[in-house]
Amino acid sequence: MRVYSLQFKVAFGKVEENLKIAEGFLNQVEEGSLVVLPEMWQCGFDYENMYEHAKATDQIIEKLVEYSGKRKLTIVGTYPVLKDGRLYNSAVIISEGKLLGQRSKIKLFPLYEENNHFSPGDENPVFYTPHGPIGILICFELRFPELALDLRRKGAKILVVPSMWGLRRKEHLRVLTLARALDTQSFLILANAYGKIGEEEYAGCSAIVDPWGRLLAYSDWGDTLLSSFVDLKLVDEVRKGLPLS
């Protein structure tokens, strides 16, 4: 199975521009693959206009649902989602023409004031897709091994991590990416933004990691379509050969 991580410089507050960037990447991926987009890729953390951006989310998801059906893709990214008058930073998982579900960010990042603008989620599901059982961690949640281990217990073999991780904590990101793959003995696909976006600068360092903690693909900086072939049989082999539970 072919998997992809999309790393790009999100255009702050410019939904249509970001949609064109994402479409350009998606047109390059193999049919029947798994694709991970960065966190809040449609607009960045443009808090001043976030309610307006949330109104565009359904339309973007509809486009991706249609596209995923034509090309048999599973696509994961996060979006501003408005529910019962509250904003959530929600990962949406789409697979082969169907919206499989959402998972809202549980651990909001206080340094970027996420907790002042979004409500936290309270569920940590695994999604069973044609590309395997997938668990989702969103950016800052990479720091919380208990969330990753909970996903493993629920059956996840792939962890996807849409992110907008800051440049100042770049070395943390590198270590934590490998650590969560090793903790859970899973494939891990991290898609991060890079460069100056709004008032913050982001780290890049997108990666695809196998259950042994080996880097299969990595991009330090720049617009990058990361790709690797993964075989989920390796997850079973690693877990059987080195039991952790």
Task: Give the pLDDT confidence of 1-26 residue by residue, as tens digits.
Answer: 999 999 999 999 999 999 999 999 99
Q: What is the pLDDT of residue 202?
A: 99
- Which of 56, 53, 60, 51 shows the shortest CA–CA distance to 13? 53
Distance spanning both ends of the chain, measured CA to CA: 27
Q: What is the pLDDT of residue 136?
A: 99
Measure the CA–CA gap between 158 and 135, rounded to whole angstroms: 6
Q: What is the pLDDT of residue 126?
A: 99
The architecture in CATH of the region 2-241 reads: 4-Layer Sandwich (3.60)
Burial of 55 (0-12, 13-18, 19+ CB in 10 A): exposed
Residue 36: pLDDT band (50, 70, 90) is: very high
Phi/psi of residue 228, each to 5°? -155, 155
Helix (H) or strand (E) holding 202: strand 200-203
Please write the tens of the pLDDT for every residue from 81-110: 999 999 999 999 999 999 999 999 999 999
Residue 245: pLDDT band (50, 70, 90) is: confident
What type of residue is 92? V
Measure the CA–CA gap between 160 and 150, rounded to whole angstroms: 14
Helix (H) or strand (E) holding 184: helix 170-184
In the predicted model, what is the mean pLDDT of the chain?
A: 98
Count Cβ atoms below 10 Å from residue 231 Cβ, excluding itself: 11
Q: What is the mean pLDDT of the segment spanning 158-162?
A: 99
Q: What is the pLDDT of residue 199?
A: 95
2-7 β-sheet, strand order: 98-104, 86-95, 74-83, 34-36, 2-7, 224-229
Residue 233: pLDDT band (50, 70, 90) is: very high
Q: What is the mean pLDDT of the segment spanning 38-54?
A: 98
Q: What is the pLDDT of residue 160?
A: 99
Spatial neighbors of 132 by CB under 8 A, at least 6 apart, are 1, 157, 158, 232
Measure the CA–CA gap between 179 and 69, rounded to whole angstroms: 34
Burial letters 173-209, b for 16+ CB under 10 A, else e: bbebbbbbbbbbbbbbbbbbbbbebbebebbbbbbbb
Q: Above pLDDT 70, what percent of the chain? A: 100
Q: What is the pLDDT of residue 113?
A: 93
Q: What is the pLDDT of residue 77?
A: 99
Position 219 pLDDT exceeds 80: yes
Q: What is the mean pLDDT of the segment spanning 34-53?
A: 98
- Contact by Cβ (8 Å): 203, 166: yes
Phi/psi of residue 217, each to 5°? -160, 145
